[in-house]
Structure 1
């Protein structure tokens, strides 16, 4: 991600965001659950997760949403404001895997951009998201 500010005039339908790879360590998964105050045991207790039918702990949807939002706002820049995020989960993110985020601009309106985001891991699609961000105009910088 560039860290520079993108203006609404610089964005076109079909633009793609650079891919972001996130290593999924146990620490990342547990820290995300704690940071989002999701204390459900399947997000931090491997034995309990196994008793509940999964091979290990897995990432919470709140954590996924945070990473998706960060992905888009890192691309868009510090003046971008996220106004909407929706996510549909697929396969879980387990420790030891990597989540790859990709994005494409699917809508450009007066001052907002809609970005379709996909999160994939080795088991398939983890998340399908759409994020709407408000961007400044070139004259507002």
Structure 2
């Protein structure tokens, strides 16, 4: 399904088994460093190649807060600007280094109405050059057509 990013999915248009469109991110040193700086993570393994190498890594690698941000982007790119990510749980796998490509994939595992809110359960993962980089689950609150909160 292709739609403008300015439109938000309605709760009624989502069902268990729906597949989210992939998000492909080419990871560069600039993205890794920018994410670390933006999240105030000044650990040298995220911006200093020599230090990362001294710790046994082949290069700098992406930090957890950047992972959380990209996972949120994956969900909101699919759901739209009026959606709210209520919960997000991630588990880290293999690292991502500059030059790697991450592909975010996901599917809807369930829908429900709680206290008037249209909640959608999503499972997702980000696969990089070395395998699963992130796996996770989320609950996304989508607006209902009847206008309920």
TM (norm. structure 2) is 0.91
Q: What CA distance in whole angstroms lies between the structure 1 residues aligned with 2:68 and 2:16?
A: 23
Aligned equivalent of 2:110: 107
Gaps of 5+ in 2: none
Aligned equivalent of 1:81: 84
Pick one of 120, 123, 133 that aligns with 2:130: 123
What is the CA deviation profile of residues 43-97 of structure 1, one whole-angstrom value per residue up to 9, with x for unaligned ones?
Answer: 1101000101110000001100100011101110111011100100000010001
Aligned equivalent of 1:68: 71
Aligned equivalent of 1:9: 12
Q: What CA distance in whole angstroms lies between the structure 1 residues aligned with 2:136 and 2:64?
A: 11
Q: What CA distance in whole angstroms lies between the structure 2 residues aligned with 1:109 and 1:33?
A: 36
Q: CA deviation at 1:139?
A: 2.9
Which consecutive aligned stretches of 4+ in structure 1 deviate over 2 angstroms post-superposition?
Answer: none
Are 2:45 and 1:42 aligned? yes
Aligned residues: 141
Aligned equivalent of 1:92: 95
Q: What CA distance in whole angstroms lies between the structure 1 residues aligned with 2:128 and 2:140?
A: 25
Q: CA deviation at 1:135?
A: 0.7
Q: CA deviation at 1:140?
A: 2.7
Gaps of 5+ in 1: none
